Amino acid sequence: MLSQIATPDACISCGACCANFRVSFYWAEAESMPEEMVEPLTAVYSCMKGTNQSQPRCVALQGDVGVNVSCSIYEARSSSCKEVQIADEQCNKARMKHNMIPLICVEPQDSENNDNFDQVC
């Protein structure tokens, strides 16, 4: 399958995971979030408004998915938001749903011959 190498700023031009899943979390996490952006889900879980519907889109997501996005409550976002990592399974599932190419992570390789040589620059 065609994939694209992930860059650290991939999320800025994506936002797919914020418009694909129900974003739920333990209710107490919502205490640091704006009240109007959260709704109760069960006795102990809450979710981001806009995500508990057939075509989810978190109310905190600003901008256009796949173009330019930001999270208006980034510092206070839930543990569920933080769990999704660039190029992981959830990420790529969301990206494909939004017709974006899946991402792959490429680990930087350690040079094998960087010992015993004087640095020249």
Cβ count within 10 A of residue 74: 9
Judged by beta carbon, residue 46 or residue 58, the one nearer ligand SF4 is: 58
Stretch that binds ligand SF4, among 24-32, 38-46, 70-78, 105-113 (CB under 6 A): 70-78
Write down the least CB distance from residue 48 to ligand SF4, Å: 5
Q: Is beta strand 45-48 parallel, antiparallel or unpaired with respect to 38-40?
A: antiparallel
Among positions 4-63, residues that touch ligand SF4 (CB under 6 A) are 10-11, 14-18, 23, 48, 58, 60-61
Phi, psi of 25 (to 5 degrees): -165, 165
Q: Is the dihedral of CA 80, 82, 88, 91 positive or negative?
A: positive
Q: Would you say 5 and 104 are in contact if contact means Cβ atoms under 8 Å apart?
A: yes
To ligand SF4, the closest distance from the beta carbon of 38 in angstroms equals 10
Q: What is the DSSP string of 16-67?
A: GGGGTS--EEEGGGGGGS-GGGEEE-SSSEEEETTSSSSS---TTEEEETTT
Minimum CB distance to ligand SF4, residue 113 (Å): 34
77 binds ligand SF4 (CB under 6 A): yes
Does position 86 interact with ligand SF4 (CB under 6 A)? The reply is yes
Chain residues binding ligand SF4 by CB under 6 A are: 10-11, 14-18, 23, 48, 58, 60-61, 71, 73, 77, 81, 84, 86, 91, 94-95
